[in-house]
Amino acid sequence: MAQDDKVMLGHGSGGSMMRRIIDDVFLEAYGSDELLEGNDAAVLPAPAPGQRIACSTDSFVVSPLFFPGGDIGHLAVCGTVNDVATSGAKPAYLTCGFILEEGLLMDDLRRICRSMAEVAKEADVRIVTGDTKVVNRGHGDGVFINTSGIGFVPEGVDLSGANIKPGDAIIVSGTLGDHGITIMSCREGLGFSADIRSDAAPLNHMIASVMQAAPHVRCFRDPTRGGIASTLNELAEQSGVEIVVEEELVPVKPAVAGACEMLGYDVLQVANEGKMVCAVPADEAEAALSAMRSSKYGEDACVIGHAEAVDAGGKPRVLLKTAFGGTRILDMLVGEQLPRIC
Amino acid sequence: MAQDDKVMLGHGSGGSMMRRIIDDVFLEAYGSDELLEGNDAAVLPAPAPGQRIACSTDSFVVSPLFFPGGDIGHLAVCGTVNDVATSGAKPAYLTCGFILEEGLLMDDLRRICRSMAEVAKEADVRIVTGDTKVVNRGHGDGVFINTSGIGFVPEGVDLSGANIKPGDAIIVSGTLGDHGITIMSCREGLGFSADIRSDAAPLNHMIASVMQAAPHVRCFRDPTRGGIASTLNELAEQSGVEIVVEEELVPVKPAVAGACEMLGYDVLQVANEGKMVCAVPADEAEAALSAMRSSKYGEDACVIGHAEAVDAGGKPRVLLKTAFGGTRILDMLVGEQLPRIC
């Protein structure tokens, strides 16, 4: 219908136009049994006995909406799937809330929804309930998406950023900085290189393999906003350890390293959307690495450092042993580097 | 600290400024054990055996942020608590995702968060995980909030909008149109009357009482955007019944009725945020009503109509018997009436 080429305020009205966008766009892309029931809440089966529930939420405001390697919809599914999976849970269900700006092209929304459906299928999760709001032109920016995720933690699994012990190996699942530099490049029209694309990916299957291969794995965390520097600082503080990273071991694509140098960014503070950091006891590091490397999204996995005890009177921190043999403190990102990266 | 008087892009960076807004604003208002753990996903206890999980999501973009009877934070908790409760579940946990606009006053955000904490306490739910994004000035509108909710459905409970049977009574828990007219009045500076204030309220305890008093209750639904007209049309269609509403029985405050008349609105299409529609077998209507009326938010509850079988060859619909003795079809809201009502 011609009047539905663009999103209008009426599509968020709760009335017949909203019904149409739900049927024609959302259900068309990812209609699940629960969504088709049309109730205000989705009712989901009881988990298996002993399983705990993991939940996480993330809003996505990335600009631009489409970029090499993904789009906001793809990112919204991957981001929440990955957050739920870091707890050791098997992600199962997603909720999806859209905040649309009046005037958004309906075809762009369809493309975003198809992308969500595709990666949800890959991650083996279902979108079971949703919500749509429309804000007047100039009060939003195309599309914002919130996804919340529910998963189930098997009995006996207890992963936490607070579990790291001195001696543990710190592993990263692949090259760093790809997502952040891709968005930056799109946004500023820098066009660095055809090699640069977002790494956004659902990592739940990879995490499950690592958990099987390295049963004493301590924790997973995805180094998104703030980059691996912020993630490692969080982990050091939660666990009360010092984390030592060897710069030479950190995997970075040459094109990304070049872009960071040009822009004056520290790649360790640049966002990733398809990478996982994990800490494992040293004697399970090889097994964890080989599980990661046999996953589609973990081919470049490597050990980048290890945890140490904090000196008496010292505080948890992250140290970087530089390629030149020096050592410096690796801080959390301060201020803002690349707004609206996810 | 002086630099934190307003929200800045760095507060969404994933780095140390984000850490500060989380600690100083969010944890200060509603720090739960799960939030304090600082992991990317909250891990929650297993539900009791046989319980199913109910989940729902809602984004809130109401303008203005503060209004008589509530604010966006209060609304964001009530809305999702109510959606989860409509399934017959006991709401237990909320996630909370903020999309903040650069320049928002930090004191406004604090006020919103305190309001969320207060009503979450009343509703007996906990905010267990969250997310914060900041968009640049002019690309958002102060605060948008997404809340997703998780609750547990007791064994044997099976409420659905598809359960209504001919003969069932249709009950509404109180006066209609209060929220929509309040927002309209604020936004347009109409200042109708001091009596007009939003009805936003958490209705989960009231729903629980009704379920106990009327064990065969068919369904609950909260008539938010699109008003009770849209809600009843959804229910009629889901259940394949005709719903007949008697206009004379519909409770409306005089000030709201007057405002609707002046503005040319049908109060049945105006949004409510603290009302519940329910369908019950006729012989349980009295019990349901008295349970509602003994709740703080259901004093004005009344039966407004009933369900009938659809004539052979006919379609599900909603009929309104007017005060003048006529009958007309009551349609879903078409187009948009009051954008950004919630």
Mean of the per-residue pLDDT values for chain A?
A: 94
SS3 assignment, position B233: helix
SS3 assignment, position A27: helix
Closest partner residue to B12 (CB to CB) among A12, A99, A339 is: A339
Q: What was the pLDDT predicted at B193?
A: 65
- Taking CA–CA distances from A79, the nearest residue in chain B reads B40
Q: Which of A155, A244, A171 is nearest to A214 (CA)?
A: A171
| Cβ of residue B26 closer than 8 Å to a chain A Cβ | no
Q: What was the pLDDT predicted at A1?
A: 47
d(CA B100, nearest CA chain A) in Å: 10
Q: What is the 3-state secondary structure (H, E, C) of B17-67?
A: HHHHHHHHHHHHHHCCHHHHHCCCCEEECCCCCCCEEEEEEEEECCCCCEE
Closest partner residue to A13 (CB to CB) among B42, B161, B336 is: B336
Render pLDDT for A13-70 as a digit per residue (tens, 0 to 9): 888 899 999 999 999 999 989 999 888 899 999 889 889 999 999 999 999 999 999 9
Q: Is the pLDDT of residue B335 over 50?
A: yes
Interface of A with B in 49-88 (CB under 8 A): 49-61, 63, 83-84, 86-87
Q: Are B203 and B276 in contact (CB under 8 A)?
A: yes
d(CA A49, nearest CA chain B) in Å: 7
Angle at B284 between CA B280 and CA B288, to 5 degrees: 75
Q: Per the CB < 8 Å rule, is A150 touching B150?
A: yes
Q: Per the CB < 8 Å rule, is A153 touching B43?
A: yes
**Contacts of residue B140 in chain A, CB cutoff 8 Å?**
61, 139-141
Q: Are A195 and A255 in contact (CB under 8 A)?
A: yes
More confident site: B169 or B38: B169
Q: Per the CB < 8 Å rule, is B41 touching A336?
A: no
Per-residue DSSP letter, B68:
T
Q: Are B235 and B279 in contact (CB under 8 A)?
A: yes
- Taking CA–CA distances from A102, the nearest residue in chain B reads B339
Count how many residues are written for chain A.
342
Q: Per the CB < 8 Å rule, is A41 touching B89?
A: yes
Quote the ipTM score: 0.95
Q: Are A317 and A242 in contact (CB under 8 A)?
A: yes
- Taking CA–CA distances from B45, the nearest residue in chain A reads A52
Per-residue DSSP letter, B291:
H
Helices (H), chain B: 16-21, 28-30, 33-37, 72-85, 106-123, 178-187, 204-213, 227-239, 254-263, 285-293
Residue A147 CB contacts under 8 Å (≥ 6 apart), including other chains: A57, A58, A60, A76, A77, A79, A80, A94, A95, A96, A97
Render pLDDT for A207-241 as a digit per residue (tens, 0 to 9): 999 999 999 999 999 999 999 999 999 999 999 99
Torsion of CA B277, B280, B285, B288, to 10 degrees: -60
Q: What was the pLDDT predicted at B188?
A: 78
- Taking CA–CA distances from A227, the nearest residue in chain B reads B14
| Cβ of residue B270 closer than 8 Å to a chain A Cβ | no
Local confidence band at B337 (pLDDT 50, 70, 90 cut-offs): confident
Q: Report the alpha-carbon distance of residue A27 to residue A36 in Å, rounded.
A: 7
- Does pTM surpass 0.90? yes
Q: Which of A253, A222, A240 is nearest to A318 (CA)?
A: A240
Render pLDDT for B217-236 as a digit per residue (tens, 0 to 9): 999 999 999 999 999 999 99
Q: Is the pLDDT of residue B210 over 80?
A: yes
Q: Are B320 and B327 in contact (CB under 8 A)?
A: yes
Q: Per the CB < 8 Å rule, is B53 touching A46?
A: yes
Assigned token pair, A2: 């011609």
Render pLDDT for B253-312 as a digit per residue (tens, 0 to 9): 999 999 999 889 999 999 999 999 999 999 999 999 999 999 999 999 999 999 999 999
Q: Per the CB < 8 Å rule, is A225 touching B13?
A: yes
Q: Determine the residue among B59, B63, B90 to mutate to test chain A binding: the one whose Cβ has the most chain A Cβ atoms within 10 Å.
A: B59
Pairing of strands A169-172, A277-280: antiparallel
Angle at B46 between CA B42 and CA B49, to 5 degrees: 160
Q: Is the pLDDT of residue B111 over 60?
A: yes
Render pLDDT for A111-122 as a digit per residue (tens, 0 to 9): 999 999 999 999
